[in-house]
Amino acid sequence: MNLNTWRARSRRGYGPLGVGAVSAVGVLVGKFVLDSTVSVCISIAALIAACIWNAWPRRMIEPSCSTCPYPITE
C-alpha cells in the first residue's frame, strides 16, 4: 500500500491507492467479519491488480515541437 502512495501524481494518480485501500479493507472484512474465502480471494486479486496497475509504466508521447526537451507522458 505504501508503494501506491509514493509519487502517486507522477505515476498513475490515486486510482491504484483507492483500489488498494478498498481491497485491503475487503481482505480484513472477508476474513474476520464474513469468514468468506471467496471475498478474501477476490480482495487479494484486486490488491495485486492495483499493485500491477501502479507499477505499469506510463506511455511516452513524442513532443509536438522540437524545442521541448523532455517527452510528455499521458
pLDDT in tens, 22-64: 999 999 999 999 999 999 999 999 999 988 888 777 666 665 6
Instruction: Tell which wins on pLDDT, 60 or 15.
Output: 15
Which residue bears the cell 526537451?
69
Number of independent structural domains in the chain: 1
At 73, which helix (H) or strand (E)? strand 72-73
Model confidence, pTM: 0.67
42 CB burial (10 A radius; 0-12, 13-18, 19+): middle
What's the domain range around 50?
A: 2-73
